[in-house]
Amino acid sequence: MRLTPGPPRDVDLATVDLFDLDLYTDGDPHPIWDVMRAQAPLHHQVLPDGREFWSVTRYEDVRRVLSDHREFTSERGTVPTHLGTDDPAAGVLMTSTDPPRHTEVRRPLGSKLTARAVQSWEEKIRGTVVRFLQPAVDGQVFDLAEKALLLPALVTGPLLGIPEKDWEELVQLTAMVTAPSDPHFQIGSEAATLAISHHELLNYVRDWVKNHRVAGEEDESLLHHLMSVRPGGEPLSDEEIALDGYSILLGANVTTPHTVSGTVEALIERPVQWDKAASDLSLVPNLVEEGLRWTSAACNFMRYAAKDVEIGGGTIPAGGAVVAWIGSGNRDESMFPDPHTFDITRAGAKRHGAFGFGTHFCIGAPLARMTLRIFFEELLTRFESLEFAGEAQHLRSYFIAGMTHLPITGKKRQTP
């Protein structure tokens, strides 16, 4: 979807279809979200097949829905592609589990991913980013969006314990899960794409666990660490490990590439912002936060009301599905003045909800932040400027806001 919205326009909220894939592939949802925040902060939609959901679009409402598991449960599914069919992994899959179990599984994994814990990876990640950028430094037309899909695997593959030979296949499978309607990833129907990707990813983790148990191997990888987690004092079954490993693989792969490409697009379109960051690399951490806010790669998450809940001037009935539109909350003018302006010096950019809120706040946020910081430090150091070498192509998904193609070329910075 377009990250820089067009001019305001008349919007008939009675006919708005927030699940219209064309709106995100070729369209512009931001003017619609602007009107929803102003006029209908709680919006109800019934799909042609009878499925229904409520939407919240204001920052504070998005934060409340994603933070309060007592009012809004994760244990029926958390992504809109599951709307109408309860997640069969609810209560086991980490992303579809509420406390206390969620906390018991997450806490020991989180200890491996604190800002202090991942600091030891900085030089390895920097070397990975330098190698990643080299073809563009050499003057080639570089399809950043396509290439960046593999970047998280280059960084996290060793941390997860995934061998390099498997990275490309796993990246493809995780893309199929999050954008099953995109022609770049679709195999048959949307339902078939989801079924294939779920099956293959779960089987991959099952086989990984089985092989490690047979070999009796000990390592420091996250997947191996998952084998030692004991929620409630009991070890996870191999199936539970497979489901939680699946969740970790998705989290590792699906958002960072689109933050990279969307932020680079914003900088190319705004050379003053590029020059400002290039002349003062101390601005890069805030550039990263503004890029996270601007791109909001995880465009939304879904919850179910555990009881009748009053929010946004209306009521979501018990059992009702509610979609919290992070992409809208991160453009809420009450929280981010002049929200449709990309400003790397924005005060308070870090308040964005790109990593979620509450107990499900992204466990890999410290690693993602460090990877993005290193990426933009190296990009700005190596290039005097970038320019587009073709048209951007947007992901066909109402869940992940991203791109499949962003061809660029760069003017190499001359060293003194």
- Which CATH number belongs to the domain containing residue 36 in this structure? 1.10.630.10
Q: Helix H segments across 68-189?
A: 101-110, 115-118, 122-137, 144-148, 151-160, 167-178
Six-digit token pair at 51?
A: 């499925």
Six-digit token pair at 306?
A: 């555990």
Supply the pLDDT for residue 232. Answer: 81
Supply the pLDDT for residue 185. Answer: 94
**12 occurs within a structural domain:** no
Query: Could you give the CA distance from residue 209 to residue 243 in angstroms, rounded to a whole number?
Result: 11
Query: Could you give the CA distance from residue 390 to residue 409 in angstroms, rounded to a whole number?
Result: 10
Closest CA to 18 of 316, 271, 277, 321: 321
Six-digit token pair at 284?
A: 């890069």
Supply the pLDDT for residue 88. Answer: 82
Contacts of 223 (CB under 8 A, 6+ apart): 160, 161, 162, 205, 208, 209, 212, 241, 245, 248
**16 occurs within a structural domain:** no
Query: Could you give the CA distance from residue 393 to residue 145 in angstroms, rounded to a whole number?
Result: 9
Find out whether 198 and 250 touch, Cβ atoms under 8 Å.
Answer: no
Q: Report mean pLDDT in 10-residue bins for the chain, 416 residues.
A: 86 94 93 96 96 98 97 94 85 88 88 91 96 94 96 91 93 92 93 93 91 76 85 84 87 91 98 97 98 97 97 97 98 97 97 96 95 98 97 95 96 83
**Other C-beta atoms lying within 10 Å of the C-beta of residue 317:** 10
Query: Could you give the CA distance from residue 387 to residue 404 in angstroms, rounded to a whole number?
Result: 17
Reported as half-sphere exposure (CB side, CA atoms, 13 A), residue 269 has a value of 15
In sequence order, what are the beta bridge partners of 43?
Answer: 55
What is residue 301's three-state secondary structure?
strand
**4 occurs within a structural domain:** no
Give the pTM. Answer: 0.95
Placement of tokens 């990275």 in the chain = 167
Read off φ and ψ for residue 107, nearest 5 degrees.
Answer: -55, -50
Find out whether 219 and 211 touch, Cβ atoms under 8 Å.
Answer: no
Supply the pLDDT for residue 34. Answer: 96
**1 occurs within a structural domain:** no
Region for 310 from its dihedrals, namely left if φ exceeds 0, alpha if ψ lies in -120 to 50, beta otherwise: beta
- The amino acid sitting at 117 is A
Reported as half-sphere exposure (CB side, CA atoms, 13 A), residue 133 has a value of 24
Supply the pLDDT for residue 297. Answer: 96
Q: Residue 233 burial by CB count (10 A; 0-12/13-18/19+): exposed, middle or buried?
A: exposed
Q: How many domains does the chain have?
A: 1
Contacts of 98 (CB under 8 A, 6+ apart): 69, 73, 74, 75, 359
Long-range (24+ apart) CB contacts under 8 A made by 141-144 are: 141/389, 141/390, 141/407, 141/408, 141/409, 142/389, 142/407, 142/408, 142/409, 142/410, 143/405, 143/406, 143/407, 143/408, 144/260, 144/261, 144/264, 144/406, 144/407, 144/408
Range of the domain at 312: 21-412
Supply the pLDDT for residue 37. Answer: 97
Supply the pLDDT for residue 249. Answer: 87
**302 occurs within a structural domain:** yes
Query: Could you give the CA distance from residue 403 to residue 405 in angstroms, rounded to a whole number?
Result: 6
**7 occurs within a structural domain:** no
